[in-house]
Amino acid sequence: MWGANLRAILNRKTWDTLRRNCYMLAGNVCEVCGETGRNGRVECHEKWEFDDTHSVQRLAGLLCLCPVCHQVKHIGRAISVAKESAVDLLRILRKLREVNGWDDGQVADHIEAAFKQFNIRSQREWTLDVSWLAANEHMMK
Ligand SMILES: [Zn+2]
């Protein structure tokens, strides 16, 4: 399911075990940039693969990331909350540029492509059932 996450599917203990093993296998550093957040903080990112032909979202593995690289992976969310934290967004964009060796144009192209893909996949995945409205029409009068 689009937007699915393991934390919601698994119980807390299982999820904690899973993510701690992910951190250990990565040597407790970010698998993208080799750094950590404050106090050695790392986070667990779920890698999903998308079969756009059959609308299948498949878990492909876990990635140990520093908090900033994790935010890069969720750039859309980072941008949507950027109104309150422009400094964080700048940090995220700088990281995206650095770890990929991109210039600003490539960063912009990547974000634009990611948003396009997100929009296309969101359209396909969300099927609305509004039968309740028909069954409760009296409540709308
Ligand atoms: Zn990182």
| DSSP code per residue over the chain | -TT--HHHHS-HHHHHHHHHHHHHHTTTS-TTTS---GGG--EEEEEEEEETTTTEEEEEEEEEE-HHHHHHHTHHHHHHTTTT-HHHHHHHHHHHHHHHT--HHHHHHHHHHHHHHHHHHHHHH-----HHHHHTGGGG-
Q: What is the pLDDT of residue 5?
A: 73
57 C-alpha to ligand 1 centroid (Å) = 25
97 C-alpha to ligand 1 centroid (Å) = 12
81 C-alpha to ligand 1 centroid (Å) = 20
Instruction: Tell me the residue length of the chain.
Output: 141
Q: What is the pLDDT of residue 4?
A: 60
pTM: 0.74
12 C-alpha to ligand 1 centroid (Å) = 25
Q: What is the pLDDT of residue 119?
A: 83
- Cβ-based neighbour number of residue 43 at 10 Å: 20
17 C-alpha to ligand 1 centroid (Å) = 21
Which chain residues have CB less than 5 Å from ligand 1, an ion? 30, 32-33, 66, 69
Q: What is the pLDDT of residue 25?
A: 93
Distances (CA, A) of 41 to 28, 67, 71: 8, 7, 13
CA torsion sign for 75, 51, 5, 3 is positive
Q: What is the pLDDT along the chain (141 residues), one digit of tens a residue?
A: 455 677 777 788 888 998 999 999 999 999 999 999 999 999 999 888 888 888 778 778 889 999 999 989 988 877 877 665 777 888 899 999 999 999 999 999 999 998 898 888 887 753 434 354 456 444 335
